[in-house]
Amino acid sequence: MRYIITHRTEYLYERSVHHSIQELRLTPQDSTSQLLERWKINAPSKLTESIDAFGNICHVFVLDHNYLGMLIEAHGEVLTKDQFIFTDAKSAVSPYYLLQQTPLTEPSDEMKRYLSGKKIAAPSPESIMQLGIDVQKKVAYITGITNSNTSAAQAWILKSGVCQDHSHIMLGLCRYLKLPARYVSGYFYDENSSNMASHAWVDVCFDIENAIWHSIDITNSCFSDERHIRLAIGRDYSHVAPVKGIRSGGGVEQLNSKVSIEKC
């Protein structure tokens, strides 16, 4: 599939911001599942590009003057194909590193008991996919209940959340099963939806020595395919947020984010 993507992020503040530093992971990477044909990020200041430990393309910019609003726009064209199995390059972060829990993924005792009841003795792509389907049924997709700081354990109690929460829950359960798992940020094209947004799913490693990963979308109960566009990978959302930063001043912040995906 070929997609034209526009991702606009706008921040508005009740008072002037005096200084800020923003870090962006808004650039899809060329890989075996996708080809970046053109891409541009428009930001209010000069961008400095780097590659992080996971191979993600990062940009940083600094604003050192007063402002009440800020607009960041990423736009480009990506060609994708149907793929859900990935093999890391030799220089990639070891899958063993992705066995570590984080505050956002640490499973509660209730989650551990739930997993024990599943009796997954020999995890496989099929059994983990079924686990993901069960999680998606147990934790309903409802917007506005959770936020970027909501942990897997909290979303489990609420029994509601969004793709980010489904992913954090699965990361916690997979790592508890001694399966390396990583968070994937990106986009998902749904021809039946007029409200596109950033998306999240997980990569699970069933062959640690050869660093082979299966990519599973919990929210849509499927392996990744040509509808998925990958942006970045990491331990959890906090490591791969499309836009994050620190600021001085500003008071109350209002965030408006809009994603447009056109198939061509």
Fold of 85-225: C8orf32 fold (3.10.620)
Q: How far apart are CA 67 and CA 19, in angstroms?
A: 9
Q: Can you tell me the mean pLDDT for 191-217?
A: 92
Structure confidence at residue 131 as a pLDDT band (50, 70, 90): very high
What stretch of H or E contains 244? strand 243-249
pLDDT of 91: 84
Q: What is the CATH number of domain 2-81+242-263?
A: 2.60.40.2250
Threshold 0.85, pTM exceeds: yes
Q: What mean pLDDT, rounded, does the chain reach?
A: 96
Domain boundary assignment for the chain: 2-81+242-263, 85-225
Q: How far apart are CA 228 and CA 173, in angstroms?
A: 23
Q: 181-188 and 243-249: which strand pairing?
A: unpaired
- Amino acid 33 reads S
Cβ contacts of residue 197 below 8 Å, gap of 6+? 257, 259
CB 227 within 8 A of CB 186: no
**Residue where the block lists tokens 């496989």:** 124
pLDDT of 203: 98
CB 177 within 8 A of CB 115: yes
Q: What is the tens place of the pLDDT at every residue in 141-198? A: 999 999 999 999 999 999 999 999 999 999 999 999 999 999 999 999 998 886 788 9
Domain 2-81+242-263 identical in fold to domain 85-225: no
pLDDT of 192: 85
